[in-house]
Amino acid sequence: MKFSEFIAQLQKHGRAAAWYFSPEQLDLSAGGTLLTTNRGGEDHTFTEVAAFGGGCVAPLNAILGLTPVPECSVPGLFDQTLVEQGATFEVTGLAPGVHRFECLIHPWMRTTVTVD
């Protein structure tokens, strides 16, 4: 995909169709392990956020009209949650409740995990 096509998708749809977390909602038993694998051609983060919002890439936030989530300013969090191409990222120890995960590079990539 050309960069101009990518920008056009963002402007029209608020997301790039080929980049998403699947599933967008997941149920997990307490004590369970959540594994996410990056099967795409770009690096992403899998970052827990208090509320969905913008990511750490200012030009994308500007196109989408988003404000960066506070987690973008947490030292080291971006690197700790980076999932490179082909890599798998493991999340353990989630407390019961609703957890939101977002890519801090591509903030339309979001998933909600409910732990019971």
Please tell me the total count of domains within the chain: 1
Q: 24 lies in which domain range?
A: 19-115
Percent of the chain exceeding pLDDT 70 equals 100
Please confirm whether the linkage preceding 23 is cis (ω < 30° from 0): yes
Residue 6 lies in a domain: no
Residue 2 lies in a domain: no
- The domain that holds 77 is classified in CATH as 2.60.40.420
pLDDT tens column, 52-108: 999 999 999 999 999 999 999 999 999 999 999 999 999 999 999 999 999 999 999
Dist CA 116 CA 96 (whole Å) = 5
- Confidence (pTM): 0.94
DSSP code at position 54: B
DSSP code at position 95: P
| Region 35-45 average pLDDT | 95
Residue 93 lies in a domain: yes
Dist CA 21 CA 40 (whole Å) = 10
